[in-house]
Amino acid sequence: MGEQLFSELHRRHPDVDLVVLPPEPPLAPAPEASEADLAAAAIAVGATGRHLWTTLAPDAVDDPVVRWSFAADPGRVRVTARAVERRADGPAPLTSLRRELEAHGWAVARAAAPGGAVERLVGRLDDLEVTATWAAGAGAVVLTVASRPLVVGVERAATLAGRRPRAVAGGEG
């Protein structure tokens, strides 16, 4: 099929050079995360979530909830810390959070939805990703900190998903 497509394309556009590259070799399977890798990810996400939440919502009563969740690929999980709070000060806390992230070397991008209904801030540093959103309609700010996807196998992913990591359960770590 591909050969016919490129033959026809070349016939219609002889002035265009076509280069067909061989398919990329499949990536080597990633090694399965060890218990130490899982614990380290949970501790990093929990600590980062708590630290950033104090910047974003200094008067908040509750800490972010830390949980395992499925990643996009089967057999992979991410640990996430998530917190939500209704606020009347609009997207101003995102500005403070952006300064905090940039001061610590995070790569940060900010985007607003048309009409200013939703402000979104995304930051990345090493194996962590931060997303902070302020929605005008709900008057709420949401913070999510997530680890990179970790390979654990399909059965282990199903066991972990939705559970709190032991390394941060009860606030320690």
- Write down all domains in the chain, each with its CATH number in brackets: 30-171 (3.30.2030)
Q: Is a pLDDT exceeding 60 seen at residue 1?
A: no
Q: Is a pLDDT exceeding 50 seen at residue 172?
A: no
3-state secondary structure 116-148: HCEEEEEEEECCEEEEEEEECCCCEEEEEEEEC
pLDDT in tens, 67-123: 999 998 889 999 999 999 988 887 888 888 999 999 999 999 987 766 667 889 999
pLDDT in tens, 118-148: 889 999 999 999 999 988 888 889 999 999 9
Closest by CA to 68, choosing from 156, 171, 173, 172, is: 156
pLDDT, averaged across the chain: 87
Residue 173 banded pLDDT, cuts 50, 70, 90: very low
